[in-house]
Structure 1
Amino acid sequence: MTAGDFWLEALLILALIFANGFFAASEIAMIATRKSRIDALLEKGVRSAAAVARLKNDPDRFLATVQIGVTIVSSLASAIGGAAAISYLKPQIAALPLPLVARWAEAIALLIVVLPISYLSLVLGELVPKSLALRYSEQIACFVARPIEFLARVSSLFVKALTASSNFVLRLISVDEIKSLIREGAAKGIFNETERELIHSVFEFTDTPVKAVMIPRTEIHAIEVHASLADVAKSFVESGFSRIPVFEGELDKIIGILYNKDVFKALQEKSDFRLRDHLHPAFFVPSTLPISELLKQLQRRRLAMALVVNEFGEVEGLATLEDLVEEIVGEIRDEYDREAHAPVERLSDGSMVIQGSALLKYLITTPWRAFYSLG
């Protein structure tokens, strides 16, 4: 190999490193770009935004395409670098009048090539592109979307194979197996008790229906629409709530939600108060809705409360953001929260008193011995 061939291969390796940077930037930019911004670009008529939307709607296909690209360019860079080291640098190092150096000529040649390639790959192929992608995610996502789509079509067979393989592996690892690994990790001291409980709560979060965490109908604090300003203010002060449902005639006819800030404003202005004029729309959800989905809907609508109804449209309860968060992190109390009675209370004689409204999860975690019931 001549010196010209060596430098030509060096330029080819550099080009492959930049190609790796292209794929690295594509991955981060596509993940970092918010869907709301893409929708805004679509409304403005930016054609490349449609390609971004398609890729974000099919993340498995996108990630498989990027991974194929990264694997190919990094493998080629390593192969070309290794070949150049052996065919060009090794003979020159072996010709040096140093016996020990000559004996390790191949290893030294590989080291001379691998170290710069690794450094440039990290800087130009990973760190810099990813940093730029985080700063200019929308612009880069729109720039790379069409080339990535083209590569996805060209390598569709490999993309489908990779996607199918990853899905197969994921199916082999069930949720129960992950929970078992977490329990084993806790037993070995890898996770402390708090961490174990948090992880367990996250798994339960997806499967728990709203009905299991809602405030029941009998405990809903609501206001009749014809209540006076004084009565409304008193209701907020006594309950300590920032939002209260408002009904007309009966609780099943909730017509909106009243915020305490609107009441305080009316008190300050001392104007004629008509409760109906200050209502915010109520958000109703079925009692079977998973709380993970409710959390998404509340975040998307920027709400903090939802009314829970059954299949007949009757109000069964209400759920707040705080109720949902507490399912993961446990009870959240501030200095104004009233002390609630524990659902399961152990008496001095060893017996236990259980509230009729106690959730099964409290009963399951209660240590049981032999017991006698009254019924």
Structure 2
Amino acid sequence: MDPTTSMIDSTFWITTGSILLLLVLSGFFSGSETALTAASRGKLRTQADKGSRGAQKALDITEDNERLIGSVLLGNNLVNILSASLATALFTRLFGESGIALATLVMTLLVLVFAEVLPKTYAIIHAEKAAATVAPIIGVIVTLFSPIVAAVRFLVRGVLSLFGVKIDADSHMLAVREEIAGALHLGHSEGIVEKEDRDRILGALDLSDRAIEEIMLHRSNIEMIDANADPQTILQQCLQSPHTRLPVFRDEPENIIGVVHAKDLFRSMYAQVGGAEGDTNRLMAFDISKVSNPPYFVPETTTLDDQMREFLRIRSHFALVVDEYGSLQGLITLEDILEEIVGEITDEFDPAAEMQVKKTDDGQFLVDGAMTIRDLNRATDWSLPDDEANTVAGLVIHEAQMIPTVGQVFAFHGFRFEVVTREGNRVTGLRIRPL
């Protein structure tokens, strides 16, 4: 009898069949891992809401990614190692000592093509569909392997702690925000997402990370009413002002005694003089403090998200900002916060101010020094840092470590900054271009 024929017996076929079955299981584990990690939880949630049990199961088991990955990798390594061992035994039986190298070569090709590349390629293309299909089976496997995975997880965390690596329970939430931001930037670069849409969504996501002091109107630019001024002066100031609410101070600007609304002021003055046919001389006895609303003060470190919620809660949208010593720093309105999401909001009563950034014919940008770095980045798609300063002028002063004079030029963060205008110690105009 031929020796080769004698080797191809029932044991040969059983071993070969076992190797093929293990390769199928390896492909299943590899594809399942890719599908469950690559599937969009948003799409799975939509499918689950429509009644898909597989999608709901996929959502459930991906809540604990560490446990899921541990179980899938455990199953995948078991079948891969077992299939390699069987192949080595089979090829050694057929070809002797040279069968070890041959088994390594053959199994590497089979595992690479049929247990890795092929299933993972399909899983990436049809991530949500594959995840919903394999989720029930993987759920059972996760349950079966949970004691072993728990022991491995404990060991892994112990090893990581030796190197100072800590597992953050909130990292998933942070990863979701980063994933949304990354998807928006990628979509914009590929022309799928409009710049305005990207800026609105990113602006809403950033509200909880930004403080009032970053966008407030500085105290030097606040228009106030002097309570000691005569009523005619107060009336004229309110009529000429583009604002409907104005802070009222007495003796010194730091001493804010209230905030007056133009409607309340006009209504009270109208009643003071006795109506349309009344005596205007009676206006001299008018006291603005009686129609002023109590001032609402907020700390400058409050986040924009918290302040927006507070505005909605108290049904107001005007607040005066103070520092830790109680000194007035500026003011903020609900409109200011909304502008961080939707962009600049103007109406027919806003002053016809010039744009804060203009592009010249030679490719440079004329920028108002008081413009915030965030607004400049949104307008130009730049990425100037705003960690150390809120305004463009503040960034230049911080980097130069001095108050620059007109004509001085600086280069940092990949841009050229030239001081164009200055008023007192304030840098009011800059010419900027990328280097």
Q: TM-score, normalised by structure 1?
A: 0.51
Instruction: Tell me how far apart the structure 1 counterparts of residues 264 and 218 of structure 2 sit (CA, whole Å).
Output: 26
C-alpha distance in 2 between matches for 1:287 and 1:213: 10
Larger Rg: 2
Higher helix share: 1
Residue 275 of structure 1 is matched in structure 2 by 288
User: Residue 340 of structure 1 aligns to a residue in which SS?
Assistant: coil
Deviation per residue, 1:131-188 (Å, 9 max, x gap): xxxxxxxxxxxxxxxxxxxxxxxxxxxxxxxxxxxx7783473422221122233445
The answer on 1:182 being equivalent to 2:176 is: no
- CA shift, 1:265, in A, is 1.1
Q: How many residues of Structure 1 are paired with residues of Structure 2 in the alignment?
A: 213
Higher RCO, 1 or 2 (CA under 8 Å, sep at least 6)?
1
**Deviation by residue 1:92-120 (Cα, 9 ceiling, x = unmatched):** xxxxxxxxxxxxxxxxxxxxxxxxxxxxx
Q: CA contact under 8 A between 2:228 and 2:251: conserved in structure 1? A: no
Offset of residue 367 of structure 1: 6.2
Q: CA deviation at 1:342?
A: 2.7
Identity percentage of aligned residues? 30
For the 8 Å contact 2:216–2:330, the answer to whether it is kept is yes
Select which of 305, 308, 327 maps to 1:314. 327
- Note if contact 1:343-1:362 (Cα within 8 Å) is conserved in structure 2: no
Q: Distance in 2 between matches of 1:314 and 1:327?
A: 25
How far apart are the structure 1 equivalents of 2:171 and 2:325? 43
1:247 to 246, 249, 268: 249
Instruction: Give a deviation string over 1:260-306, Cα, whole Å, max 9, x none.
Output: 11211123223441111111011111111111111111111111200
**1:373 alignment partner AA:** E
Deviation at 1:214, TM superposition (A): 0.9
| Structure 1 residues 241 and 192, CA gap change in structure 2 (3 angstroms) | same
Shift of 1:372: 5.4
Alpha-carbon separation, structure 2, partners of 1:283 and 1:264: 22
Aligned match of 2:208 = 206
5+ residue gaps, structure 2, are 1-48, 58-168, 274-284, 383-413, 421-435
**Is the 8 Å Cα contact of residues 229 and 263 (structure 1) preserved in structure 2?**
no
* CA positional deviation for 1:198: 1.1
Task: Give distance in 2, aligned partners of 1:362 and 1:259.
Answer: 29
The reply on whether 1:259 has 2:261 as its aligned counterpart is: yes
Partner secondary structure for residue 173 of structure 1: helix
Q: Which moved further from structure 2: 331-340 or 262-271? A: 262-271
User: For residue 226 of structure 2, what is the aligned residue in structure 1?
Assistant: 224
1:372/1:357 Cα in 2 relative to 1: closer, same or farther (>3 Å)? closer
Pairwise CA distance, 1:203: 1.3
- Show structure 1 runs of 5+ residues with no match: 1-66, 76-166
Q: 1:371 matched to which residue of 2?
A: 416
The partner residue of 2:237 within 235, 238, 241 is 235
Structure 2 distance, partners of 1:372, 1:321, is 33
1:231-263 deviation digits (Å, cap 9, x = unpaired): 222111111211100011111110110111121
Query: Which runs of structure 2 are paired with 1:1-375 in the superposition (5 Å)?
Result: 170-171=172-173, 173-188=175-190, 190-271=192-273, 272-365=285-378, 366=380, 371=416, 373-374=418-419
C-alpha distance in 2 between matches for 1:297 and 1:327: 17
For 2:352 and 2:315, locate their aligned partners in 1 and report how far apart those are by CA, in whole Å: 29
CA contact (8 A) 1:258 1:278 kept: yes
Shift in Å, 1:223: 0.6
Specify whether residues 265 and 185 from structure 1 end up closer, same or farther in structure 2 by C-alpha distance, changes over 3 A only: same
TM-score with structure 2 setting the length: 0.45
Q: Quickly say closer, same or farther: Cα 1:177–1:279, change in 2 above 3 A.
A: same
